[in-house]
Every structure is written in C-alpha cells, then in structure tokens.
Structure 1
Amino acid sequence: MDAPTQILQVRGLSRTFANGLVKAVDDIDLDVSRGEIVSILGPSGCGKTTTMRMIAGLETPTAGSIRLMGREITGLPPYKRNVGLVFQSFAIFPHMNVSQNVAFGLRMQRLADEVISAKVTAALDLVQLPVGKFGRRRPNELSGGQLQRVALARTLVTEPALVLFDEPMAALDRRLRDHMAVELRAIQKQLGIAAIYVTHDQESASMMSDRIVIMNAGRILQDGTPEEIYLQPTNRFVSEFLGDANVLAIEQVLEIVDAKARVRLRGGVDLWASFSSNVEPGMFVVIRPEHAVVHVADPGNAIEGTVDSAQFRNGLHRWHVTVPGGDVLMAQTTSGPCGPAIGARVWVAADPSKSRVVDP
C-alpha cells in the first residue's frame, strides 16, 4: 500500500498566554504533503516559531489537533513524534566529531554499530561531506555552510516523517544563504520528505518553497505558491511584506467592467486595476515596481509625477516618483536607457491586469 501523501494536518491550532489574553497562535489550519516544502513567513512575534514548536512537541497547544501520517500526535512528547529539527544555532555537539554528531540520534535508538556506520556514511554523502574527508573533523574545523550540512545530515539520518527548519540560515551571509537554499531544496526533493521552513527571510523562502504561508498576529493571512503570494496578494500586509510594492489608497470607485475597476486615488488620480471579489473605498491598489513603467509622455492609465531619484544597481534601473497626494511610486526595469533624470516630469503607467485591488 502506498504511503499517504498528506503528511501533516493541523486543525484549529491555538496557543494563548496570560490566561488567554495573549494569542500567540490563533486557530490556524495547515497541511503539508509528501515531498512538499512549506515556508512559514512573517515578522518577529507573528506566531511562526510557536507554531513550529507545537508541531515539534516543544510547546503544548491551548486548542486544536496535530496529525502526522494520519496519527494524532498532539499529546505526544517530541521523541515519539518522528519529527526532525534543524535549529538556527545548528546545535552541533562541540566535543564530538562530524560522524559522532550524525550518529547521535541513531545511538539513542540502540541500533547496531554496522547499521549506524552505513547510515552515517549515506547521510554525509547526501550532504556532500564524505565521511573519509570530514568524518573525523571537529565542529571548530568547519565553515558555517558545512556546519549546517552536518546539522541536516544528523536530522535526516533518523528518517523523520517531517523536518522542521527553524531559521537555519540566519547566521550565514547572503551569498551562502542563496547557495544553501538551492542545495537544501535539492536534497529535500531527492528524498521526497515533507518539510516546514520557519523564517523571516523572504528571498530564501521564495527560492525554496512549494508554498508560502504568511502569518501575522498569530493568524494565517495567505497560503499559496510563491508566485501567487507575490503576484496575487490578498491584503495590504501581504503585499508589503513579500517584496517591494506601491500601495495606493482607493477613495472612490468610478466604473467597473468585468473584473477591472476604474478607481480614484488620493490626489484625484484615476486608474484602472484588477480585482478578485469586490472593490470599494478604503481598499488599496498594489503595483509591483517591475510592473510600473516610466514614460516621458502620458501613455494612458498612468499617474503623473516628478522623479525624486534615479538609480542603477545590479542590472536594474529604478526610479522614485512623487505623485499627487504625496505618494512615492517605485518603478524599475532591466533594460533600456537610463531614462529621465531627477526633477523630470514623467508618467508612471500601470498595466490594469497587473495592478491588483487588495483588502486593507
């Protein structure tokens, strides 16, 4: 019989403190399937770490249930859950060499020495730290990226049903984080394991994840693929949290045609934008900088303004344009001439299909 594809099912999970006055996690549902990596993303204090700790068994829920491989695990201690953890600090034992660190969990299971040796060799090969070269090294002889691989091998060698990553790359520099994000995803896909990646690092989450869950104030605001979250945010918080965004307040709805609306923004500016369910005053239009195009003449569906800054960085031209009402729009492109200079009068055009109405 095939193993179930649904690895984790979280239903109505809550955690309160101070006699219920503080809701760290507030009635959330979450599913993770076999071979899927899901990132829980949000600002400090949003509830993502508390959620992870409840799944791991390190925190007791106030309400709700956690099922792993169809089995209720809500009341089980961590060592009975078959859940692996990779911590931000890596938690490598400094007095043990690499092989001993990786073997630690297996020795707690009282496996035979030859079984442990074979599993440790396979795990270190998987993370590209062959036992013959790295097995006898001490943690202080390894780089940050190598330490992370040891921590990953030590977790994977016990064959957990689910792996939880708690900010595992926070201590690494940007280039190494990007490299490790690609490497971790490749390993996870090769093994077909389910994984949850808890982080505030937007770029790593987008690179690694099949799905991203955005949390704030203990609640899940949106759950979708990285592309869906970025291109189709449902509210202002999500649109501003994941990537750069121009967010413009709607003061009046003037006209609706199919799934597009002509709205009046602050400063008396009219603009067409797409909406999913409804549009009304008090909502916002979101335009990503790469979907905002600077013109020296009015091309239609554009906002007139003045260039405040013009920058070129890493192949991108970016402008900041002040428009009526005081909003500052960001526009960027990867090609073409440098464009208008600071102080120039321009029009920032927005494709209605890529300008989205979102909730407050």
Structure 2
Amino acid sequence: MIEQDLALELQNVKRHFAGGKVRAVDGVSLSVRAGEIVSILGPSGCGKTTIMRMIAGLETPTEGRIRIHGRDVAGLGPHQRNIGLVFQSLAVFPHMSVEKNVAFGLRMRNVASEIIRSKVREVLELVQLPPDNFATRWPNELSGGQLQRVALARTLVTEPALVLFDEPMAALDRRLRDYMAVEMRAIQKKLGIAAVYVTHDQETASTMSDRIAVMNRGRVVQVGPPAEIYDAPASCFVGEFLGDANILTIRKLFDGNGPFCEVEVEAGRRLRVKAAQHLGKGGRVFFRPGRTKVQMADPGGGMEAKLVSRSFTAGIYRWKMEFPDGTTLVAHSTQDDLGSVGAGQSIWVTVDPEQTRLVEA
C-alpha cells in the first residue's frame, strides 16, 4: 500500500486511564485508504468511541501515532485536523434554518458569503434536500431522516479530508436506518472522501463498509470485508457478534486430506469441516444458520435432533433444534423445509463442509 493513498493510519495506538489500570485502547493499528469506508464495530466499552475521539483530537493517545493523509497529528487540535464529525445527537442548531445550519462551518472560517451560498446549495442538492424546498425550513419541521441529511450536509460542505461517524443513525428506526446507510454510502462514494464509521450495529456496518474492524476489550480482533468476516470469523466472539451462529465444541480432531478434516463434536458426532487452520481440541466448529439444512428424514450422514421451536418472520423460516446432550442449533431458510413437523419430533441436520470453519474459542 502506497503511503500517500492512506487517508488515516493508526500505529500501535493506546489510551490508558487510572494510571494504566484501565486500558480502553490497547495497541490498535489500522489504516483507511482514500475513498474507503471502514467501520469500527464492537460492543459497548470495547474502545471504539475512544479511538474515534483520539482521531478527532478530543483525546490524546497514551502511546502510538495517528497520521491523517500522511501528516502526524500529534499536538493538533480538532479544528486543525480537517476532519468532519457526525455525532449520534446530530447537534443540529434548533434556532437556525437548514441553510444557516449547513453554512455554519463555512462562516466560522470567514468564507465569502457568495461562496457560502453556492456551496450550501450544492451540498443540499447532493444530500437530496432541494434548497428551494428546504433551505428556509427549521429543524422542528423536518423528519428524522431529513435531520440526518442536514447534519451530513453541514459536515460535507467544509470538504473534510476524513469524516468520522459516531453512530449517527442510532436513534432512527430500522427501516430508515437501512435506507440512510445506503444513501450515505452512495454520497460518500460520489465524493471519494475517506470515512470511519463507529457503531455496535453489525447490520449498518455491513451495509456501509468496505471493511470492518471488529474490536473487543480495547483491541482489534479482525479486519476484513463484511462478507468475509461474516462467513469466516477468526473467533467465536467475532462469529457471534456479527449474527446468529452455530458453534460446536471439538472433542477430537482426525487427520484429513487437503482443505478438510474430520472432527468429533458433542455426543460422538463426526463432521467433515473446512480446516484453513488446525486448532485441535481447543477449537470450535462454526457455521451460520443460513448454511444449516434441516430435513424430515435422514439424507445419509445427518445428525438427528429434536425440534424445539419454529417461527416465521419477514420471509424467513427459523428452526431451533436440540441434541440429547443439550447442544442447540439454529437453521434459517426461505423455504418451509419441515412442513408439519412439530416441537419434540425428530429431524435431521446437515451442513456443507464448505460452509463450516474452525475458529478459536
């Protein structure tokens, strides 16, 4: 990777509190290319917001370097970093019209009035708030999605080198959040601005991002494209954090040929699994419910289980099943594969070895 193509570099960044007893961020290295959207995803308290605040200049790293477009920003205040910030609260000024809200940053920079008017109109068109209809409106006259666009326009109008999003869509309902994620990605790609999106919402992160950096306990535990992290997580934590997951403990690992091996899991059941890495007894077998097939009769090589429950939501059938030792699995499908089979009856579970992974516990 050519250094000048990097919009952001974090090199072994740490942020400790209470004399080093609390390690909010513990050695994070991450890069964002020009024009790329990278989401920092993780549970509450994992350190993702602290990272964003250090990039913005609102916190000072205990150790490590932060570079924005090749420039070390140590000692530079937020106003000196040419960064755009879009917060969860949106921070739209209620006493200003849409036009004045969007123009605020330019006025603070003493930009000429005629240039401000031109740039404001241009960016309002970009975020699909036609200025003839929206420029004179007040925030209390706008919907949640429109307020989101105003906050985005106010950030983009200053032409930042990097945009930081701190869960700006958390207050929106799911349908509007999904729509805005697609819209914001389209706008960002049109402008070619690098962006970092901080969130705990894996669905929004997957929709928005070119890559996702998953965090846990102050560290980045996996970085990659959304589909790769979803289907090939590096650990049980990553697999479960990104959605429903089936995870089986390995009791015994058998030798295999090529990319596959055989493992023994609960109750002596043997599975053929993809073995990109051999983890031995301490590993786990991982596969997604959407890759799990349930049938009413044994197709040969299936695992018998008892159906616990079944449900149907938004076009997806969902089954939960249990083995005699108490291990549970979940399967999803767009087809009703079990017909009239009810709770307590026997079913058979199979999974394509190509859709399995060995992961760290």
Q: How would you bin the TM-score normalised by the shorter chain?
A: over 0.9
Query: How many Å separate the matches in 2 of 1:346 and 1:319?
Result: 11
SS at match of 1:49: helix
169-178 or 261-270, which deviates more: 261-270
Map 1:160-179 → 2, pairs under 5 A: 160-179=160-179
Deviation at 1:299, TM superposition (A): 2.6
* Alpha-carbon separation, structure 2, partners of 1:45 and 1:337: 41
Give the ranges of 4+ consecutive aligned residues of structure 1 lying more than 4 Å apart after TM superposition. none
The 5 A counterparts of 1:54-93 are 54-93=54-93
Instruction: Give CA-to-partner distance per residue, 1:282-305, whole Å, 9 cap, x none.
Output: 211111001110122323443211
**Are residues 1:21 and 2:21 paired?**
yes
After superposition, what is the alpha-carbon deviation per residue over 1:172-218, rounded to whole angstroms, capped at 9, x for unaligned?
00110011011001100110110011001111111111001100000
1:237-269 CA-to-partner distances (Å, cap 9, x unmatched) read 000000110011111112322221211112221
CA distance in 1, matches of 2:3, 2:14: 29
In structure 2, the residue matched to 1:315 is 315
- Please state if 1:248 is matched with 2:248: yes
Preserved contact between residue 261 and residue 273 of structure 2 (Cα < 8 Å)? yes
Counterpart-to-counterpart distance in 2, 1:74 and 1:302: 59
1:342 and 2:353 equivalent?
A: no
Separation in 1, partners of 2:135, 2:318: 48
Equivalence for 1:305: 305
CA distance in 1, matches of 2:302, 2:59: 51
SS in 2 for 1:261: strand
Q: For residue 352 of structure 2, what is the amino acid of its counterpart?
A: D
Residues 290-299 or 222-231, more deviating: 290-299
Q: Secondary structure at the match of 1:19?
A: helix
Q: Partners in 2 of 1:265 and 1:237 — Cα distance?
A: 19
Correspondence for 1:284: 284
The amino acid across from 2:317 in the alignment is H
CA distance in structure 2 between the partners assigned to 1:273 and 1:58 by the alignment: 47
Structure 2: how far apart are the matches of 1:11 and 1:53?
15
Counterpart position of 2:360: 359
Cα distance between partner residues in 1 of 2:167 and 2:53:
13
Q: 1:3 to 1:47 in 2, by over 3 A?
A: closer
**Structure-1 separation of matches of 2:61 and 2:284:** 36
Question: Is 2:295–2:338's contact at 8 Å kept on the other side of the alignment?
Answer: no
- The match for 2:215 is 215
1:267 is paired with a residue whose SS is: helix
State the AA in 2 paired with 1:70: G
Q: Secondary structure at the match of 1:256?
A: coil
Corresponding residue for 1:261? Answer: 261
1:150 is aligned to 2:141? no
State the SS of the aligned residue for 1:170: coil
**Structure 1 stretch displaced more, 76-85 or 322-331:** 322-331
Give the distance between the partners of 2:209 and 2:305, measured in 1 at CA: 38
CA 1:326–1:134 in structure 2 vs 1: closer, same or farther (change >3 Å)? same
Distance 1:301 1:190 in 2: 50
In the TM superposition, what is the alpha-carbon distance from 1:5 to its structure 2 partner?
Answer: 2.2
The Cα offsets for residues 136-164 of structure 1, whole Å up to 9 and x where unpaired, read as 11111111111110000000000001000
Q: Is the CA contact (8 Å cut-off) linking 1:290 and 1:333 kept in structure 2?
A: yes
In the other structure, the counterpart of 1:48 is 48
**1:80-123: per-residue Cα shift (whole Å, max 9, x none)?**
00110000000111111111111111011111110111111111
Corresponding residue for residue 8 of structure 2: 8
| C-alpha displacement of 1:37 | 0.6
Alpha-carbon distance, 1:54 to partner: 0.3
For residues 79 and 213 of structure 2, what CA distance do their matches in structure 1 show?
26
**Matches of 2:99 and 2:83 in 1, distance apart?**
21
Mapped to 2, the partners of 1:196 and 1:57 lie a distance apart of 14
Provide the secondary structure at the position in 2 that maps to 1:128.
Answer: coil
Percent identity, please: 56
The two structures have a TM-score, normalised by structure 1, of: 0.97
Instruction: Report what 2:232 is aligned to.
Output: 232
Rounded Cα–Cα distance in structure 1 between residues aligned with 2:237 and 2:142: 40
Structure 2 residue aligned with 1:184: 184
Counterpart for residue 135 of structure 1: 135
The CA distance in 2 between the partners of 1:337 and 1:352, in whole Å, is: 20
Q: Which runs of 5+ in 1 are unaligned?
A: none
